Amino acid sequence: MRVVLDTCVLKLATLPSAINPAALIVELALAGLLEVWVSAAIAEEYTEVLASDHPDFLARFLGGVQVCHPLTELRIIRHEPDNRFLECALAVEAEFIVTVNTARGHFDRADYQGVRVVTPGVFVNLPEVRTLIARLAR
């Protein structure tokens, strides 16, 4: 399953919590059960946000992602940096963008040309993801 993770998901994954859907998503990715894609722009944003406080987490996570080079620059989403995530998702035909930014100006549509936009909580409760979580628990 191809996914693109918004930076906010990685930031949430670093927070201590007994129930943390974002951390579970990262765990699935690190186990190789999700195919996470980034572009250079996304990796740069991850680094800007996470490198100072969570360098080991960032290095481990980036070590397992796939890198794409989108050929199209989009101007669909009003919060301009969010377009980088959509560009990457469309370039690799990802099934999902996972984000908490679903308010106006961010990802305010549930679907962009076949790429579904979901929150971490919704994502981990999808039947196909529940199957992956069960494999992780073994």
Q: Domain spanning 2-137 has what CATH number?
A: 3.40.50.1010
Mean pLDDT of 98-110: 79
- The whole-angstrom separation of Cα 124 and Cα 77 is 25
Residue 99 tokens, joined: 């984000």
Choice between 75 and 121, residue whose per-residue pLDDT is larger: 121
% of the chain exceeding 70 in pLDDT: 99
Judged against a pLDDT cut of 90, whether residue 31 lies above it is answered with yes
Residue 50 tokens, joined: 């996470």
Winning range, highest mean pLDDT, from 72-81, 91-100, 107-116: 91-100
pTM over 0.95: no
Mean pLDDT of 109-135: 93
Mean pLDDT of 86-110: 88
Q: What is the pLDDT of residues 37-72, one digit of tens each?
A: 999 999 999 999 999 999 999 999 999 999 999 988
Q: With bands split at pLDDT 50, 70 and 90, how would you rate the model's confidence at 109? A: confident
Which residue is listed with tokens 């996304």? 42
Quick check: 13 and 46 in contact, CB under 8 A? no
